[in-house]
Amino acid sequence: MALCRLFSIKGRVQGVFFRDSTRRVAEALDITGYAINLADGNVEVLAYGERDAIDKLAAWLQDGPQMARVDQVIASEIEVDAPDDFQTG
């Protein structure tokens, strides 16, 4: 069963290839959605896919790419139409 989860990732997550790394992981897991930088220095990730894949992405987001420092990940399930692909903005 597909679901959609919205993540807010806090820490040193901008300027460390977080969005592009998230896109690569998401695409490998067949997840659609987006990863965007927020004005407050955080990154927002919308992930749509199968529960197991979303859980794997959620686990990866706890650490992110090598140069990142993740302090907190907040997640909530939301209802949206399925995105066509994974975008970074």
Q: What is the pLDDT of residue 87?
A: 93
Q: Give the span between the Cα atoms of 53 and 57, in whole angstroms.
A: 6
Q: Which domains does the chain have, with CATH numbers?
A: 7-80 (3.30.70.100)
Q: What is the pLDDT of residue 82?
A: 84
What are the residue numbers of the active site? Answer: 19, 37
With a threshold of 0.75, does the pTM exceed it?
yes
Those residues of the chain that have pLDDT short of 70 are none
22 CB neighbour count, 10 Å cutoff: 28
Q: Give the span between the Cα atoms of 22 and 34, in whole angstroms.
A: 9
At 14, list the tokens: 């901008």
**In whole numbers, what is the pLDDT of the chain averaged over residues?**
95
Q: What is the pLDDT of residue 39?
A: 97
Helix (H) / strand (E) element for 75: namely strand 69-78
Q: What is the pLDDT of residue 13?
A: 97
37 CB neighbour count, 10 Å cutoff: 16
Q: What is the pLDDT of residue 80?
A: 86
